[in-house]
């Protein structure tokens, strides 16, 4: 299996990255898979300019030449695309949203992919989950979602290591794709 991991958090190795790591451990349980990581916060990815170059029937390319081009080629080759993001102000992070918008150029490659959406949050994650649930069937994507609330009932932030059941859920999901 070829997988790419799009990391949406600016906080490396924290909650959403750790959830992704658990998924990957499960995915690699039988053999190491080909996995490429993209830390979107460290990449030069301009927001979509709405130029509609990618709407041209035969072209389907994005006119903006930046680091998104690396994601395009890896995405096209990938079987599994992992979106690991915290919630920021009611949605995925701006870094991940910029990547999502730029995906407009390659939606013809979505069909048959497995999307694994891993979300960490304090209060709500429904908006982002609902977005993926709406678009994935339309594009023929097989969607899997794991969410983890990283806060206790007294509204105190806790690291994701305090939620081993969620890490296990991500791990188990990974094992279902292990070859």
Ligand X SMILES: Cc1cc2nc3c(=O)[nH]c(=O)nc-3n(C[C@H](O)[C@H](O)[C@H](O)COP(=O)(O)O)c2cc1C
Binding ligand X (rule: CB under 6 A), the pick from 150, 166, 174, 177 is 150
- When the beta carbons of 163 and 171 are compared against ligand X, the nearer one is 163
Piece of the chain touching ligand X by CB under 6 A; list 39-47, 65-73, 121-129, 130-138:
121-129
122 is a contact residue toward ligand X (CB under 6 A): yes
For residue 90, what is the DSSP state? T
**Using CB under 6 A, which of the segments 7-15, 48-56, 64-72, 165-173 binds ligand X?**
7-15
Of 64 and 128, the one with the shorter C-beta distance to ligand X is: 128
Instruction: In whole angstroms, give the CA distance from residue 43 to residue 14.
Output: 18
Can you read off the two tokens belonging to residue 158? 């806790």
Question: Could you identify the residue written with the tokens 């069937």?
Answer: 137
Name which position in 88, 109, 131, 139 contacts ligand X (CB under 6 A). Answer: 88
Residue 33 touching ligand X (CB under 6 A): no
- Residue 160 Rama label (left phi>0; alpha psi -120 to 50; beta): alpha
CB of 138 to ligand X, least distance (A): 26
Question: Whole-angstrom Cα distance, residue 113 to residue 54?
Answer: 20
Task: Round to whole Å and give the CA distance between 177 and 27.
Answer: 6
161: contact with ligand X by CB under 6 A: no
């Amino acid at each position: 299996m070829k997988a790419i991991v799009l990391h949406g958090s600016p906080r490396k190795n924290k909650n959403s990255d750790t959830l992704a790591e658990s998924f990957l451990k499960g995915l690699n349980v039988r053999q190491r898979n080909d996995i490429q990581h993209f830390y979107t916060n460290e990449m030069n990815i301009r927001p979509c300019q709405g130029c509609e170059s990618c709407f041209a029937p035969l072209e389907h390319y994005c006119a903006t030449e930046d680091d998104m081009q690396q994601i395009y080629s890896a995405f096209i080759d990938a079987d599994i695309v992992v979106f690991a993001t915290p919630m920021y102000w009611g949605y995925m992070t701006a870094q991940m949203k910029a990547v999502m918008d730029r995906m407009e150029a390659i939606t013809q490659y979505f069909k048959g992919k497995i999307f694994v959406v891993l979300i960490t949050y304090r209060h709500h994650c429904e908006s982002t989950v609902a977005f993926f649930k709406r678009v994935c069937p339309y594009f023929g994507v097989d969607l899997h979602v794991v969410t983890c609330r990283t806060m206790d009932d007294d509204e105190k932030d806790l690291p994701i290591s305090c939620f081993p059941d969620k890490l296990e859920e991500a791990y188990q999901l990974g094992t279902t794709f292990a070859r």
